[in-house]
Amino acid sequence: MIQDNINFLTDGLASENLTKLVSGKYVDFVGASLVSRIFMKSKKPLSMKHSQRAINHQQTINYVPLFIAPAQVLRGENILSQSGVAIAALGKRPLVVGGNHTLEMIQPHLKPIIQEYKLETARASYLPDCTESSLMKLRETATTHKADFIIGVGGGKALDTAKLLAHQCQIPVVTIATSGATCAAWTALSNIYSETSAFQYDVTLARCPDLLILDYSLIRTAPQRTLVAGIGDAIAKWYEASVSSGNSNATLTIAAVQQARILRDILFQKSSAALENDQGDDWREVIDATVLLAGVIGGIGGANCRTVAAHAVHNGLTHIQSAHHALHGEKVAYGILVQLRLEEMIQGNQLAVSARKQLLEFYTDIGLPKTLEDLGLEHISLSQLRQSAEVACQPNSDIHRLPFSVSPEQLMAAMVSTKELVESPVGRETPA
């Protein structure tokens, strides 16, 4: 059994609008917690009610906040069964938030903890999605139950809902990841969707979760497709962070981009073996990569390592009903190919050509989608494709972090040519 108990940071409540001009200069938005500890020179963590004051203070004297990691991370085989002390330390009246199926699945795992620590527990589904109306209902449930902390269980959307609910109620949150599909268990970010599951906007949270539980035995029960999607979402960190970081010389930005490169290489090296044997070391390393390291990169890189075109393409695709069965990481993986194709088509970037060729081979090996057809969108109409491209090219879209402008027409052309012929030593051929 592996048990890591990482006590990085504790508290520090940041406002949502820290990405702003401070002393006339754009500030790296990397969170409040670490800065609270470093710059305030406080030996004790700040309590939440004092934290906003601290943030205001930080802004006036040019502090750069950092959201690097959850306060505590417990990981290992069957680690949930040994997490009672850490969970009960956060309160007495948890509200457990997840999908209907996951809430049923997790019940036998949580029951012994609830009984041993005499927790007064309520549970609520976040479905149909992480929407404003779901959050409103959940806030009512949390108030009625007098919840003093939230336990989020599930994949990206369930955990995003639980984190944002806790943020809005200003109470702690535990994230229990049930798949390797995203790094949502780690990050201080939630995505909001519409009632029809179309991406709306993201919300930067006050801090990373108070406790993250990564139980390998629980994650092993998830469909393998979720891990494949998680690999797609995690590998995007490199292709997006290396663009969005620009020519930054900032220490933490450079560190984050280099970690993103390492993450990419780990996934290239270990994904196939991981998917073949979920009992092996490679499988555990790949889970650590998709759930933990991907989150670290977002934490350290902050505003300089945000998403670019790959996630913008994902966001556009969520506005097409027939794309809803595809997982987040599957759409993002396809979006990386689109981003590289744009760099080729508009910039004439030859490195993007070889990067795309390398990814096409990797996707073939592990089963990530390479085309709209692979995403099940072979019957997509031209107007649907245009709608999705227009959403991805909206003025506030991350696609504009690319160092050139992109029109919906150019994006549409890239979206239908992700597997475009690639030069090979024996001539032009379509990669398998």
233 binds Zn ion (CB under 5 A): yes
For the chain, state the CA radius of gyration: 21
CA angle, 331 then 181 then 166, to 5°: 105
Distance CA 375, CA 380 (A): 11
Phi, psi of 359 (to 5 degrees): -70, -40
User: Which amino acid is residue 206, in one-letter code?
Assistant: A
User: Which amino acid is residue 134, in one-letter code?
Assistant: S
Task: Provide, rounded to whole angstroms, the least separation between the CB of residue 156 and Zn ion.
Answer: 7
Stretch of 11-19, 91-99, 188-196, 231-239 contacting Zn ion, by CB under 5 A: 231-239
Q: What are residue 176's DSSP bridge partners?
A: 153, 213
CB-wise, 80 or 266, nearer to Zn ion? 266
> What ranges in 190-307 are assigned the alpha helix state H?
216-219, 224-244, 251-276, 281-287, 294-301
CB-wise, 11 or 233, nearer to Zn ion? 233
Tell how strand 122-125 and strand 73-76 pair up: unpaired
Q: Which residue is nearest to Zn ion (CB)?
A: 233
Task: Provide, rounded to whole angstroms, the least separation between the CB of residue 191 and Zn ion.
Answer: 8
**Helix%, strand%, coil% for the chain, nearest 5:** 50, 15, 35
Stretch of 9-17, 198-206, 226-234, 395-403 contacting Zn ion, by CB under 5 A: 226-234
Tokens at 272, concatenated = 């196939």
Residue pair 393/399 in contact (Cβ under 8 Å)? The answer is yes
User: Which amino acid is residue 275, in one-letter code?
Assistant: L
Task: Provide, rounded to whole angstroms, the least separation between the CB of residue 429 and Zn ion.
Answer: 31
Task: Provide, rounded to whole angstroms, the least separation between the CB of residue 310 and Zn ion.
Answer: 8
Task: Provide, rounded to whole angstroms, the least separation between the CB of residue 233 and Zn ion.
Answer: 4
CB-wise, 94 or 156, nearer to Zn ion? 156
Task: Provide, rounded to whole angstroms, the least separation between the CB of residue 290 and Zn ion.
Answer: 10
Stretch of 228-236, 319-327, 346-354, 384-392 contacting Zn ion, by CB under 5 A: 228-236
Greatest extent of the chain over all pairs of C-alpha atoms, in Å: 69
Stretch of 79-87, 120-128, 146-154, 232-240 contacting Zn ion, by CB under 5 A: 232-240
Question: Residue holding tokens 């005499």?
Answer: 118
Stretch of 70-78, 158-166, 229-237, 268-276 contacting Zn ion, by CB under 5 A: 229-237
| Residues in binding contact with Zn ion, number by CB under 5 A | 1
Within positions 169 to 188, which residues make up the interface with Zn ion, using CB under 5 A? none
Q: Catalog residues that contact Zn ion under the rule CB under 5 A.
A: 233
